[in-house]
Amino acid sequence: LSENAQQSRSVVKVVTDSIHRRTTTLGRAVDPGMFRTYPEDGQWLHPLTFVNVIVTILAICGFLRLARSSLDVYVWMTPFYVVLLLVLPYGAGTRLLLPVMPVVWLSLYELFKERSWQKNAIMVLLVLHLIITVGRVVSMYPHELQRHQEWPIIDTLAQSVDQIDPQRQATWAYLGMDSDYVSMLSFSRNRLIVPFNPESQAQYIVVVGDTQRPQNYQWIQSVENYHLLELKTQ
């Protein structure tokens, strides 16, 4: 009985976390300026979660109105797609929600179209969201360009790592490395590289620039500003 109760609680947690994750995603996609907000799973009392839940409820109410007045396959496909998203155990950002975002906006429009000021508010919200998003893209362009230019170095670094560990069985960690470049290196190697933890004693470490190196590691090789270190053998 205890095991069954524990399994039930586990299932409930998975479901509630998934619902929280999708409401957060919807809020990020609809509310202006919130596309970079990330409340942790299960934080139902977080202020942003409160906003996201309201947006989700409004979208659902609007969709019910839209579905009653439309036989469009695209509209009726949306609930099945949303159920699929609820089953997925990971967030994946807003990218998976993009296919149904037109239906979301139509649902909100359907909900508020009866009053002109509410309809105008939806249009203002959409335009404001677009302006903020474009501004964010423009402001991030130099960073994205710099990151793109870093790819040859990351690929060379990945090749060096694979030469040191051709079987790809050793644990690699990073220290002082930007999260974007960590993702790029993991992608280039098709292997995960984890944050450095002194207690885990990773066999190899990628250290950036003048970052202080752990004492029990020795230098092997450098690629531009990246240094490869190996755990010293006793």
Q: What is the pLDDT of residues 94-152, one digit of tens each?
A: 788 888 988 988 888 888 877 777 777 777 877 887 888 788 788 888 888 888 888 88
pLDDT value for 90 = 67
The answer to whether residue 223 scores a pLDDT higher than 70 is yes
The last residue of one of the domains, among 145, 168, 197, is 145
Cα dihedral 132, 135, 137, 143 sign: negative
> What are the C-alpha distances in Å from 56 to residues 3, 93, 140, 199?
34, 16, 29, 43
Do 16 and 61 share a structural domain? Answer: yes
Do 95 and 204 share a structural domain? Answer: no
Do 137 and 159 share a structural domain? Answer: no
Do 158 and 97 share a structural domain? Answer: no
Average pLDDT over all residues of the chain: 82
Q: Where are the alpha helices (DSSP H) in the chain?
A: 2-30, 47-68, 73-87, 101-112, 116-149, 151-164, 179-189
Do 168 and 74 share a structural domain? Answer: no
Q: Could you tell me which residues are beta bridge partners of residue 207?
A: 175, 227
Distance between CA atoms of 202 and 231, rounded to whole angstroms?
Answer: 7
Total number of domains constituting the chain: 2
The last residue of one of the domains, among 116, 145, 174, is 145
pTM for the complete prediction?
0.59
